[in-house]
Amino acid sequence: MSNINESLSRVAELLSYPQANTPPLHVRYGALIRAIQHRFNELGNSGQAWTYSTENVTVASGTDTYTIAATNFGKPLLVTTYSTEDSSFQANIPFFQVQNLAFDWDLPFNAASGFWATDSASVHSALRCAFYKSAGTNTTKVIFRPMPKAAAVYTVLYSVGNWVDSAALTDTPLLSQYHPLFEIQAALFLLPQCKWAGNDAAGDQIQRANLKESLAGELQLISPSWVDFTADIVNANMGMRDCSYSI
């Protein structure tokens, strides 16, 4: 496995160690993280969340809409009740597209619907929720139905969307066996800006052409396994129960 810093060194190796500042280090870093994010995006559209995190949303009586603080929020995967007092009872809260939140809803929006909660004395009353982006911003919101009638906490499991914005040079991207993919892709992005010691303009042109052919051939060799890998997990979904108990 390699972290971002090690991948930057490998990109330089793939480019036969061009002269310093051809291109500058920040340009090399930008090309690499864009290539990494592209692979994250491809996995995000498959049926498997390879990088995920959680956030607790604390609700209060009389307020139905809340902001998700995580800036790397990608897609919601699961919403469950959270309690430090009664961990033996946990319920999954279905989530909808926001335009479908009221579909087949035959209760008042402010109904205190504690149908299953009565037996466990739980304060959780949510029966459904929806996530959406606030207009003109990158802020993610979640809205609960019915309107909460008591303070409660829900845990949101989500896939990481924008991984690279918060990544450090010592962080290791996912799926180490595919690191050569984004390293080669970054090298191809950077190749037109590279110059090498001892070359004149014509020599640099020839070296770029030779490296482009070599890198493209290697990328063509390893890309089919990535395509097969992502295609194989597109339908790898598991149905969820409405409630789960830990005994």
Strand partners of residue 82? 153
Show the tokens assigned to 42: 């491809």
Listed ranges 76-85, 115-124, 234-243; the one with the highest mean pLDDT: 76-85
Task: Judge contact between 156 and 59, C-beta under 8 A.
Answer: no
Spatial neighbors of 149 by CB under 8 A, at least 6 apart, are: 61, 62, 110, 112, 125
Q: With 80 as the cut, is the pLDDT of residue 219 above it?
A: yes
Question: pLDDT tens-digit profile of 48-88?
Answer: 667 788 999 999 999 999 999 998 888 898 999 887 776 66
Looking at residue 110, its pLDDT comes to 62
Q: What is the pLDDT of residue 121?
A: 57
Q: Average pLDDT, whole number, for the chain?
A: 84
pLDDT digits (tens, 9 = 90+) for 162-206: 887 777 888 888 788 889 999 999 999 999 999 999 999 999 999
pLDDT at 71: 86
Share of the chain above pLDDT 90, in %: 46
What's the pLDDT at 125? 85
Looking at the predicted structure, is the pLDDT value of residue 21 above 70? Answer: yes
Q: Kindly state the helix (H) or strand (E) to which residue 224 belongs, with its residue range.
A: helix 201-232
**Structure confidence at residue 243 (pLDDT):** 41
CB neighbours (10 Å) of residue 235? 8
Among 55, 59, 57, smallest CA distance to 123 is for 59
- Residue whose pair of structure tokens reads 């020599």 in the numeric block: 203
Q: How far apart are the C-alpha atoms of 156 and 55, rounded to whole Å? A: 5
| High-pLDDT (> 70) share of the chain, % | 84
| Average pLDDT, integer, range 78-107 | 82
**DSSP designation for 143:** E
pLDDT category at 1 given cuts 50, 70, 90 is: low
Confidence band for 236, pLDDT divided at 50, 70 and 90: very low
Strand partners, 53: 158
pLDDT at 239 over 50: no
pLDDT value of residue 164: 78
Question: What is the distance between the alpha carbons of residues 219 and 184, in angstroms, rounded to a whole number?
Answer: 7
Contact in structure between 155 and 77 (CB atoms under 8 Å): no
Both structure tokens of 214: 């070599």
- The CA–CA distances, whole Å, from 109 to 87, 115, 126, 143, 240 equal 28, 15, 11, 11, 25
